[in-house]
Amino acid sequence: MPEHVSASELADRALAHPAVARLHGGQYGEIATYQPGQRITGVRVGEGSVEVGVVLRLGRPLPAVLTELRGELAAIAGGVPVDITVADVITSDEPEGA
């Protein structure tokens, strides 16, 4: 795992994006990073790459949202490629915790 990439910082930055409803750990919870005393679900920092799983709010074109989000995350990933998996998209009338 690259030393300079913080899974918790990546998770916070992703959740701060207005289109991100929540992080998603994947079908079997495989998108996660284990740190001392905690498990960061929805962000996996591996050797030379970062994977982030998200549930997005519908409202803007998804390609534009993903480009924007990837740019924000790449800025703190220190040159490590960032892959984003969209697990689901919710509308404004769906509860975010569903």
> At residue 1, does pLDDT exceed 50?
no
Read off the CATH number of the domain in which 18 is found. Answer: 3.30.70
Domain that holds residue 55: 7-90
pLDDT recorded at residue 97:
59
Q: Is the pLDDT at 52 greater than 60, yes or no?
A: yes
**Is position 77 within any domain?**
yes
Give whole-number Cα distances, 80 to 19, 29, 63, 83, 98, in Å. Answer: 23, 22, 20, 10, 31
Q: CB-based contacts of 46: which residues, under 8 Å, 6+ apart?
A: 1
If you average pLDDT over every residue of the chain, what do you get?
90
Could you give the number of structural domains in the chain? 1
pTM: 0.87
Q: Give the mean pLDDT of 35-56.
A: 93
Residue 93's pLDDT is: 67
Least confident of 11-15, 38-42, 46-50, 84-88: 46-50
pLDDT band of residue 81 (cuts 50, 70, 90) is very high
CA–CA dist 49, 71 (Å, integer): 14
**Nearest Cα to 96, choosing from 60, 88, 59, 7?**
88
The pair of structure tokens assigned to 86 is 């969209």
